[in-house]
Structure formats: C-alpha cells, structure tokens
C-alpha cells in the first residue's frame, strides 16, 4: 500500500506573501486534494535576524482569503507538531551531532573575520566569491584540522561553532524531479553548507530534511531557486539513513517579470501588486499593495496563478478551484519560467466578476464602497446595482466609479458635453419631472415610454434628450442604460435630480 500523501508549504515569516509562494501553495493543495492527502503549513522561523513580527499571521490571513486552508499548522494543530521550527531547536541539534559522529559533518570554529580573510585571500577574477568547500576546509579552523581533544575543549569552553556538511569531493548526485526528469549534480561544485548555526538554530538545509522526515512528507514542491541545494538535501537524506523515505521532489518554474524573476521592485516600477494582500514593513513603514486591496477576487487570483506554468492541454482558461483539483497534474507543469501578465490577470478578474452570483459578489464589493463613504447600501439595492454594472468592472475597486451615483446625487455636471441646450429642452425636462412623478408603475419600461411620449409632444427627437438626462442623473456621460439608472434610484430621487439640474444647465 502506498503512503498517504502529505505535502507542505514552509515559508519564512519575513514579509509579505509573494504570488510565487501562493502558486506553490496552490499546487501543493491541488495535489493533496486530488489524492485525499494532507496539506501542511510549516513556519520556518529559524533565521531570527530576519524574523518580522506579524508576518506569520499575515500568512494565515492570506491563505484564508485564497481559500487554501492547511490541514495542519501551528494554528490548526496536528499530530506531527510543533509546526514552528523555532520550537523544534533541540531536535535539529541531535541530528547535527549524529552527522558529526558519522563523519558526514564537522564543527567549524572560524570567526566572521577569519571567513572574510579567507575570501579576500582566495578571491580572483575567475573566482569572485570563494566558497568554504573541499579545497578550503583543510586550511580552516574546524574539527577536520584540529586535534580531537582541542575540539572538545573549545566546545566545553562555550566557544561558538557551526556545523557544516562534509561534501564529497568527486561524486555525482542524481535526483528524479517530477517536472524535469533526472537531474545530476557534481558534489565538487557544492560548498560545505552550514547545517547548524552558532546560535544553535538549524539552517534551512538541515531543518527541511529533518522536518520532512519526521512529518512524513511524501512530496516536496518548491521553487526552482532551490534546485542548486538539492544535492545537499539528497545527501542528508542518505547520511541520516532515511533515503527510502525521501519525498518525491518537484521544482516549480520561476514566475518572470519584465526583467527576470518577478520581484517587489517590479511592482513598484510598473504599478501592479505581487503580494496577496497589503503588507506594511514594520521597520520602514513601506506599504506594498496586495491583490486583495487592488480589487481582485480570490477565485480569479487562483485561476490566473494556476495557469502560470500549467495548463490542462485544452483551450479552457476559466477554472474554479474544484475544477483545478479535478484537472491538475504535475506532468503538465512547464519546466521553463512563466511570464506574469498583469493585463491578463485583470482579464481573469473581469471574467469572474461577470460569472459569480450577485449574492456572492456583495460581500466583496461592499468594502470598496465603504472606503469611499457609501457606508450602508441596502442589500437589495446593492444586488441590483451589481447586476447592472458588473460587465463594466474589471476590478472590485471599479464598482465605486461605476455605481456611486446610485447612492448619492451628483454635485457637479459635465455641462460642456451637453449638445445644444435650449429653453425648449429645459421645459421638456421640467415637464418630464412632473410626468414621471405621476407614473403609476415605476420601472425602466414605463419610464422610457413616458419619456418618448413627452418628447413627441415637444417635437424633440429622443436621441437629443437621453444624454442630458444621463448627465442629470449621473453627472457625466457614462454608465448603464439611463432608464435602468432611473429605475434603480427611484421615482422621487429621479424627479429631484432632474429639477436640480435644469437651472444649472441653463446657466452653463
């Protein structure tokens, strides 16, 4: 019997959640749901210098908005906790000691100053960034070069040390990647990575292997930027005698911006978000806008994210989360980078705005209206407004501009756009207000009928009168059909707006 599928997303709480990270979450989530497996969120907070307060809660909030709730996490619990690495410190220390005892790792006592001196000594044009590797370690201060009694004395005295993996000098490490096929690495090109830092915290390399083993992770999906670290991880699985339990790996393609890997700098330069939701850096106060605040629906966000590097082999572009669970396959994930197109992302959002039930959209639209001072629109009115203007909205933030006039009368009018305003037209509209005030049934059909009949009485073509009516009701020459606007704002308000606008138009 095959093992139950267990996948994980393991972010560091150092800032906003980038859309590349969410795509990794999404692919993990889809694979887990397809296979009746478990999706685990593990917080990798071992780098205390980069830890940012509030970042962990931000991750939970972001995944909740996306609808990608983990089955196990520090917040949700689970039988393989703790799920926060800072709470597992002693576990990693024991495995680091095991690696030292078996000869696959060693203690290194080099100070930061000694490391920098080594780099200065070995730096050349051909080797601008010297590494601590098999060619260097024999000339450094570590347990491979120092007598055993001196090593122990240094440890007993409390001297700071790190634990480094002892990379083989001339081996080939092979990894079967679920996306890229077999990948080979030459160990002589890989440095002796630090596994345990001087503060006793593990680095990613040791922690990810130990945690994946103890949490019984069966598949590890991560960005391709981790591919160069794969030989270190494969060897750690081997050196700890866990190779038969090593998860299947899939290194996902990069998401590309205008100039290489998509970054926060791209967002600032080109004016589009790259984080799930707004992130305010506690240290600098710098605010980075998120897809949520820009006006994206979570359904659209996940839809376009899924297609950044994957397709199902058809021309279909609109997928619900349930459809993605049904159709997703790693075999159709591309190995090359996927370019982020913000205009295409907005197209997905427009499509989802058009397709979702009005009742579902109300809770998403309401906050954007609230921000602009429309604090408590009646649910029935809001539903009718959304149905009327949704085709004109690409982002949720567009709903205010496309609908504010349903909730408040215009304070200014685009009078320069009035065609040939005259006293005759003024009399028509004053008469129209009286006519509409007496219409027994208030709907767009009756309003239009009364409008056209009165236009015939005044011998004015209806086409000359519709734009002035629109500007009276909206303030500008845009919006849905004008008689639908009148229908929604109501009989009393329509007549009031007409009467208020006539004298303004006459003085323009």
- pLDDT for 1: 44
Q: Rounded distance, CA 282 to CA 261, Å?
A: 25
Number of helices and strands (H, E) in the chain?
20, 14
- pLDDT for 504: 96
Model confidence over 204-240: pLDDT tens digits?
999 999 999 999 999 999 999 999 999 999 999 999 9
- pLDDT for 263: 82
The active-site residue out of 160, 197, 264, 344 is 264
Q: Rounded distance, CA 410 to CA 356, Å?
A: 30
Q: Rounded distance, CA 25 to CA 44, Å?
A: 15
- pLDDT for 258: 83
Q: Closest Cα partner for 317 from 349, 293, 273, 339?
A: 349
pTM of the model: 0.92
Question: What CATH number belongs to 1-72+253-355?
Answer: 3.40.50.620
CB hemisphere CA count around 118 (13 angstroms): 17
Q: Rounded distance, CA 52 to CA 39, Å?
A: 24
Residue numbers in the chain where pLDDT is lower than 70: 1
Residue 463's H or E segment, with its range, is helix 462-474
Compute how many other C-beta atoms are within 10 angstroms of the C-beta atom of residue 54. 14
Q: Which CATH number fits domain 89-196: 3.20.20.70, 3.90.800.10, 3.30.420.240, 3.30.2130.10?
A: 3.90.800.10
Question: What CATH number belongs to 415-507?
Answer: 1.10.10.350
- Helix 462-474 vs helix 482-489: crossing angle, to nearest 10: 40
Q: Which residues contact 237 (CB under 8 A, 6 or more apart)?
A: 209, 213, 243, 245, 246
Contact between 40 and 212 under an 8 Å Cβ cutoff? The reply is no
Q: Closest Cα partner for 42 from 5, 72, 87, 79?
A: 72
Domain boundaries, the chain: 1-72+253-355, 89-196, 357-396, 415-507
Q: How far is CA 232 from CA 138, 167, 174, 193, 228, in A?
A: 20, 8, 11, 8, 8
Model confidence over 7-47: pLDDT tens digits?
999 999 998 999 999 999 999 999 999 999 999 999 999 88
Q: What is the DSSP string of 40-77?
A: EE-B----TTT--TTHHHHHHHHHHHHT---SBBTTTB
3 is catalytic: no
Q: Closest Cα partner for 392 from 402, 383, 384, 400?
A: 402
């Amino acid at each position: 019997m095959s093992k139950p599928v267990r996948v994980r997303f393991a972010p560091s709480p150092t800032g906003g959640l980038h859309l590349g990270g969410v795509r990794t979450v999404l692919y993990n989530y889809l694979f887990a749901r397809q296979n009746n497996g478990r999706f685990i969120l593990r917080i990798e907070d071992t780098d205390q210098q980069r830890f940012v307060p509030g970042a962990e809660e931000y991750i939970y909030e972001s995944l909740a908005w996306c609808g990608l709730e983990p089955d196990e996490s520090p917040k949700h619990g689970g039988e393989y906790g703790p799920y926060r690495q800072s709470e597992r410190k002693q576990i990693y220390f024991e495995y680091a000691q095991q690696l030292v005892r078996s000869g696959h790792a060693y203690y290194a006592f080099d100070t930061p100053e000694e490391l920098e001196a080594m780099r200065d000594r070995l730096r050349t044009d051909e080797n601008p960034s010297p590494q601590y590797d098999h060619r260097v370690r024999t000339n450094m201060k570590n347990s491979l070069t120092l007598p055993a009694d001196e090593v122990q004395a240094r440890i007993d005295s409390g001297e700071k040390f790190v634990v480094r993996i002892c990379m083989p000098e001339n081996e080939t490490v092979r990894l079967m990647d679920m996306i890229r096929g077999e990948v080979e690495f030459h160990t002589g090109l890989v440095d002796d990575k630090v596994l345990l830092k001087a503060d006793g915290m593990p680095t990613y390399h040791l922690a990810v292997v130990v945690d994946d083993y103890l949490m019984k992770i069966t598949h590890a999906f991560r960005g391709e930027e981790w591919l160069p670290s794969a030989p270190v991880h494969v060897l750690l699985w081997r050196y700890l005698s866990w190779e038969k339990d090593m998860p299947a790996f899939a290194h996902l393609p990069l998401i590309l911006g205008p100039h290489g890997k998509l970054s926060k700098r791209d967002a600032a330069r080109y004016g589009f978000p790259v984080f799930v939701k707004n992130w305010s850096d506690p240290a600098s106060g710098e605010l980075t806008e998120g897809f949520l605040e820009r006006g994206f629906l979570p359904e659209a966000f996940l839809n376009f994210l899924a297609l950044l590097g994957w397709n199902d082999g058809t021309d279909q572009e609109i997928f619900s989360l349930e459809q993605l669970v049904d159709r997703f396959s790693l075999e159709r994930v591309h190995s090359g980078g996927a370019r982020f197109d913000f205009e295409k992302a907005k197209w997905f959002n427009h499509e989802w705005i058009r397709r979702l039930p009005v009742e579902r959209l109300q809770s998403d639209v309401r906050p954007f209206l609230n921000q602009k001072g429309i604090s408590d629109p009646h649910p029935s009115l809001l539903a009718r407004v959304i149905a009327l203007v949704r085709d004109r909205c690409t982002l949720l933030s567009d709903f205010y501009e496309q609908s504010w006039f349903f909730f408040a009368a215009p304070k200014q009018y685009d009078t320069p756009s009035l065609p040939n305003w005259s006293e005759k037209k003024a009399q028509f509209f004053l008469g129209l207000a009286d006519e509409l005030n007496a219409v027994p049934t208030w709907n767009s059909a009756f309003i239009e009928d009364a409008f056209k009949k009165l236009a015939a009485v005044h011998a004015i073509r209806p086409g000359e009168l519709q734009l002035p009516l629109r500007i009276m009701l909206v303030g500008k020459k845009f919006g849905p059909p004008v008689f639908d606007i009148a229908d929604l704002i109501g009989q009393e308000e329509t007549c009031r707006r007409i009467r208020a606008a006539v004298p303004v138009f006459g003085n323009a």
